Amino acid sequence: MPDIAPPAPLTILVIDDSDTIRRSADLFLRQAGHHVMLVADGFDALAAITENSPDLIFCDILMPRLDGYRTCALIKKNARFHATPVIMLSSKDGLFDRARAAVVGATAFMTKPFSQAGLLEAVNTHAKGRRPAIAS
């Protein structure tokens, strides 16, 4: 019977204007072996997405210049990135925020602050098409 190898590392983009949230996500995701990109707003995120084609995106809702809803909508309108999972991050856990996130195409919604276990569970649940590799 073959051994199951750990999944390949993912490239994950974290978009949040909070330095604390970005640092926490970076630490948690890098400890799990993933490649992490950090940006502070939606405009910078659009450039990072185009240059790096992330496997998964975490996107804060309330940000300056370009908020998370508009950022997510722009990502989902692009044919190249339409299938990339976007998980919205918010300090509010309201029904309106969840519904609006779904309308713009978000894959999931997480409240902040998040735990390491919660963040990694979201990665494992929503990473597009990633399955553990089979070792020979």
pLDDT for res 128 = 60
Q: Which two tokens stand for residue 60?
A: 């804060």
6, part of any domain:
no
d(CA 91, CA 94): 9
3, part of any domain:
no
* 11 CB-contact burial (10 Å; exposed 0-12 / middle 13-18 / buried 19+): middle
131, part of any domain:
no
91, part of any domain:
yes
| Predicted confidence pLDDT, tens digits, the chain (136 residues) | 444 445 679 999 999 999 999 999 999 999 999 999 999 999 999 999 999 999 999 999 999 889 999 999 999 999 999 999 999 999 988 899 999 999 999 999 999 999 999 999 999 999 865 543 333 3
Which residues constitute the domain of residue 46? 11-119
pLDDT for res 94 = 84
Asked if 126 and 10 touch (Cβ cutoff 8 Å), the reply is no
pLDDT for res 92 = 85
42, part of any domain:
yes
CATH of the domain at 54: 3.40.50.2300
Provide the number of structural domains found in the chain: 1
pLDDT for res 6 = 52
pLDDT for res 127 = 83
